[in-house]
Structure 1
Amino acid sequence: MSIKLRLTLSNIAMITVPIILFSITSFLLLIVFLGDIREMTNFLPESHNYHKTKQEDTILFLALKEKSVVNPDELMSQEYLQSLNGDLATIDTGLMIRKNDKLYYSTPELKKLNTKELPVFGTETSFRSLEKVGEQTFAIKQHDFFLKDGSKVSLFLMRDASPWNKFVRTFFPILLGLCLLILIATNGLLAYFVSKSIIKPINQLKTAAHFIKNGNLDYSITAIRNDEIGQLTQSFEEMRIQLKESYKIQKQYEDNRKELIAHISHDLKTPITSIKGYIEGIRDGVADTPEKRARYVQTIYTKAMDMDHLIDELFLFSKLDLGKVPFEFEKVDIKDYLTDYFEELSFDLRKQNVDVNFQFSTLGNYVVFADREKFKRVLANIINNSLKYMEKDKKELKITLHSTDKNVEILIADNGPGIPDDSTPFIFNQFYRAEQSRNKLTGGSGLGLSIAKMIIEEHNGEIKLESTLMIGTCITIILPHNTFSEEATS
């Protein structure tokens, strides 16, 4: 049940309960003042069926009032009055008639009453009033009229109200107090349960927020309801899980960053140390022949170029990571692009004894949106990374091009030593570099494949790697045919 519905029902209950209790109290008060529950029908609207809307004693009372006007002599006859005894007994009502302050007629059960204790002439009422006569309490209807001789006559229809009236008068304060107690208890319980259902989960959220603020991301909370706070609790728990995961990633990122800084510092220090050594050799006259000096200078130049390449890689990676590298996308036929690229690279590859095998279907659609310069950097990083570790006499690169309705797939496979299974999942991770690559022959910053992955992702593409030890490694690049709008290409 939602909090909105719960509050709505609570408010309805807080309104309904007082109305019910007020109705009960009013009902009891009416009984006290009217003396008979059936008198309440006088407050109801009458229908065309007179006898259905009036009580029998009321009908009789009205008939006697009518007769007192039309034929008072007959009303005062003992025969007529005695004929009413049956009707009076049926409705459990007695009749007394007082004439000039003296008892004129009384039904048997009322004969012992003292007429002086009855209401005086002139206090006529059509509703029952409670009057104490002797030791008893009666609900009395009174009608006063004059006879032709001027005599004052009071007619009383009386019902014994002592038991019910005594009960109501005795227990009315208790009932009233009980109603007030029920009202207070109802509102209190409703407020308690509604507030408990809201405050308890809020306190849980407060406690969880306190733990998270203090760095404890393992404190878990569970939503026990599906209301708004339950949904908030679930969202809070999902946020905690994401924060924990982000914290792990950030920690790994920081560790990798520190490792990268250490590795970069090492890789920069190594060529600088070599450069300093060779310069000192030239300065101290160790390179005492033109040939030796030329060799020293060439070594210094090579080390400086390595440093420049390392710094360039680090700078490019940083800009890609920050999203500060501009891309110029255009329609490119990858088949023609790769044909031209490997034709330009063929001379250098032949010098390194690398055999290139480029395969594709002439019927495929190889048009994609790409940045030519950035994509060339991807190919260079992948091929250079492959060539670093090839120790075979005959090195092979096999490039296969596939086209589907949505994508173009470029497979670049080598016959190198392969990558261990425990390193394969991390090969594209930021700052990752397998330890075995850190030697004088291969070197590298470990950023090449990370840069390639970031560039391909900017193309809305995907890059994957599969490797088998002693057989080789295959990298797959997947580029979509149409992803960028005309605005992106302009």
Structure 2
Amino acid sequence: MFRHERRPCSYFGHGKESRHQVPERFRLMHDHLHQHHRSQFLRHYRYFRYFRPVALVFNLLILYLLFSWGGFKGIGIFFAALIIMKEVLQFFFLVRLEKRIFKPMESIRQGLDEVARGNYSVKAAYDKPNDLSFLIASFNEMTEKLSESEKMQAEYEENRKALIANISHDLKTPLTAIHGYIETLLEVPAASGENRDKYLKIIYKNIIYVNRLIDDLVLFSKLDMQKLEFHYEAVSIRPFMNDLMEEYRFDCEEKNIGFHYRVELDEDVWLNVDGKRVHQAFRNIISNAVQHGPETGLSIEVRLCRQGDFVCIDIKDNGPGIPEDKLPFIFDRFYRIETERPKSFAGTGLGLAIARELLESQGGKLTVSSIINEGACFSIMLPILRDSGGEASETYPDY
């Protein structure tokens, strides 16, 4: 009794394979199968191309034999007419078949070859609608989505590297300062009380900054993964904004910052928002204005109005403004206009990115316009709640 032993092909290899050899094995197997299917297709296509001249020669031979029969001229002419008609019809049929079936299939096959090589920008061309046009359209749509997915993956990888680099830099700077001042205090235990207090204050500020950066990173990661919970409720915009602006007016007065708030609403409207998250977005925008504004003479103006189905809240400052070439990047994470962090306010570089994500997650928008030396204006657009009627009650979110 003989036992049949299957010997693996050369591309499967022998024995145990390392983790790096497995992809190479499958690549070789794919290339082998690809060459096999390609040769099969080309063989059928070649048979189809050679069939026409062979059939034509065969039919001419039949015609010759029919006409060579002396007593059957009429029958020969009749069969000759049938064969000629059949040849003409067959010729047009085969030409149509080649144009509408085989050539589109060859175009798709070549496109699949390019996709297998990693070229997702390839398109299968077709001049006019044919029997396989829907398949070609689906193939082109597939390659377009694959190309977009590849670009998104590359962009995601680039953002991931930039994020890691920015986090490393932003954490290293304050931690280095903390380490240096603590080391100084340990080496000079008899330092004067004034210097000790100064060092401790610097350490404390850097710890506060690190905590704020970590909090912003956690919040932004939840927003990015769409795992941040929103507690929506019907909010009356007038009392909501009045309470919010009263809080900022008090804070600005303590810092000698001018603060002005005006309402240009004909009637009160309702919003379906998470008041806590909206307040968080406001805080980030105003903190950004304070961070980049002048040390003296800073003024912030807030205007509440309505634009169609949206409530518009403009937050304008009289700071140095944002250069036009930097406006498209102002909402990018860790983007800073200055190369160095302002000494008076430790910004994390995530405030505006978080503000935009918080508002867009609630169906809102955040845009910015600016004029150099005249300040910047951030515009918040929030959708108005329709048909709220008298069922909704005024809500004052707990910040």
CA RMSD, 1 decimal: 2.9
Alignment of structure 1 residues 6-405 onto 2, 5 Å? 169-176=72-79, 178-180=81-83, 182-183=85-86, 186-187=89-90, 189-227=92-130, 229-285=132-188, 288-361=191-264, 363-405=266-308
How far is the alpha carbon of 1:352 from its aligned partner?
Answer: 2.3
Q: Tell whether 2:365 aligns with 1:462.
A: yes
Deviation string, structure 1 residues 361-381 (Cα, Å, up to 9, x no partner):
353233111101111111011
In 2, are the aligned partners of 1:271 and 1:304 still within 8 Å (CA)? yes
What secondary structure, in the 3-state scheme, does the structure 2 residue paired with 1:318 have?
A: helix
Q: Counterpart of 2:338? A: 436
Distance 1:369 1:384 in 2: 25
Question: Which structure has greater strand proportion?
Answer: 1
Distance 2:388 2:135 in 1: 39
Please tell me the residue identity of whatever aligns with 2:267.
Answer: G
Please tell me the residue identity of whatever aligns with 1:463.
Answer: L
Distance 1:273 1:413 in 2: 36
- TM-score, scaled relative to structure 1: 0.59
Distance 1:282 1:302 in 2: 16
**Bigger Rg over Cα:** 1
What secondary structure, in the 3-state scheme, does the structure 2 residue paired with 1:368 have?
A: strand
In 2, are the aligned partners of 1:369 and 1:484 still within 8 Å (CA)? no
Deviation string, structure 1 residues 171-197 (Cα, Å, up to 9, x no partner):
413532552464366346414522431
Distance 2:313 2:363 in 1: 15
In 2, are the aligned partners of 1:220 and 1:237 still within 8 Å (CA)? yes
Distance 1:443 1:228 in 2: 65
Deviation string, structure 1 residues 170-223 (Cα, Å, up to 9, x no partner):
241353255246436634641452243122122222222332342334434443
Distance 1:252 1:469 in 2: 31
Q: 1:251 to 1:417 in 2, by over 3 A?
A: farther
Deviation string, structure 1 residues 87-113 (Cα, Å, up to 9, x no partner):
xxxxxxxxxxxxxxxxxxxxxxxxxxx
Q: 1:193 to 1:428 in 2, by over 3 A?
A: same
Q: Counterpart of 1:476? A: 379
How far is the alpha carbon of 1:249 from its aligned partner?
Answer: 4.3
How far is the alpha carbon of 1:467 from its aligned partner?
Answer: 0.9
Q: Across the two proteins, how many residue pairs are aligned to each other?
A: 321
Distance 1:311 1:448 in 2: 12
Of 288, 310, 313, 1:410 maps to 313
Q: 1:261 to 1:473 in 2, by over 3 A?
A: same
How far is the alpha carbon of 1:287 from its aligned partner?
Answer: 5.7
How far is the alpha carbon of 1:444 from its aligned partner?
Answer: 3.0
How far is the alpha carbon of 1:404 from its aligned partner?
Answer: 4.1
How far is the alpha carbon of 1:328 from its aligned partner?
Answer: 0.7
In 2, are the aligned partners of 1:366 and 1:403 still within 8 Å (CA)? no
Please tell me the residue identity of whatever aligns with 2:128.
Answer: R
Of 355, 373, 379, 1:452 maps to 355
- Structure 1: gaps of 5 or more residues: 1-165
- Structure 2: gaps of 5 or more residues: 1-68, 394-399
What secondary structure, in the 3-state scheme, does the structure 2 residue paired with 1:377 have?
A: helix
Distance 1:314 1:410 in 2: 26
What secondary structure, in the 3-state scheme, does the structure 2 residue paired with 1:463 have?
A: strand
Please tell me the residue identity of whatever aligns with 1:225.
Answer: K
Distance 2:283 2:238 in 1: 17
- TM-score, scaled relative to structure 2: 0.72
